[in-house]
Structure 1
């Protein structure tokens, strides 16, 4: 069975979140095993691991915040046999999600924040377009 672009995007969104959580667990594990932090002393928002650690924590949390809506729409299209509507932009959604995370990991300088916002906006617009199409409003 060949994977459609919608299925690839769905699996890619989950895989990307999984990769980020592995990186986060690795970073935290190194701090714990190195004696720099107690295993139960990490703040959920990453504020106690400034710099890359905090950006990684937020990038991972942001992926998880957006995954349910993205996954729900892609799954609906797949189950309803409507991937012809989602396939054309599915890999674009995945690329925008990955780009948003990568930019988040690199820097919080104003230009990077704008790039992160732009990639997030692309995801929101794609999702809104799909919802309008799948609901029959377009």
Structure 2
């Protein structure tokens, strides 16, 4: 059975984990090469390269949004209301990937504007879902 909402939920979780694994893999490399002490990392990677800082922020953005997205998708799944979430769920995931990708790529004005636009798409979708699910 192909369930769009469930697949998007799992995709969002997988993307969040991928960002975490990449960040921790790079941190392990920094420790193993002696570039950074194991106890010198900050949550935002402020003492590391600009890319590592953007990676930490991209991961944090996913973690910040995941509870809202997951709750709505799970509510739709449990309540048998995936007709509400299925049509926009893939677009939400695409917008999340665009936001993260733009974040990882650059802090240029174009990248920041793209990132913000992708964020707005996600917020619009979750607001729509919330209203639609509450209406019953």
TM-score, normalised on structure 1?
0.96
Say yes or no: does 1:89 pair with 2:85.
Answer: no
Deviation at 1:46, TM superposition (A): 1.4
How many residue pairs match? The answer is 136
Query: In the alignment, what sits opposite 1:116?
Result: 115
The 5-angstrom pairing of residues 19-98 of structure 1 reads: 19-98=18-97
Task: Quote the residue 1:12 is aligned against.
Answer: 11
Aligned Cα root-mean-square deviation (Å) = 0.9
Q: Secondary structure at the match of 2:88?
A: helix
Structure 1: where are the runs of 5+ without partners?
none
Deviation of 1:127 after TM superposition, in Å, equals 0.2
**Could you state the TM-score of these two structures normalised by the residue count of structure 2?**
0.97
Cα distance in 2, alignment partners of residues 40 and 34 from structure 1: 14
Query: Which consecutive aligned stretches of 4+ in structure 1 deviate over 2 angstroms post-superposition?
Result: none
- Unaligned residue ranges in structure 2 (runs of 5+): none
State how far apart, in whole Å, the 2-side matches of 1:56 and 1:29 are: 15
Cα deviation, 1:77-129, whole Å, max 9, x if unaligned, reads 00000000100000100111111001100000111000000000000000000
Q: Which residue of 1 aligns with 2:135?
A: 136
Once the two structures are superposed, residues 49-93 of structure 1 have per-residue CA deviations (whole angstroms, 9 ceiling, x without a partner) of: 121111101100111011000000000000000000100000100
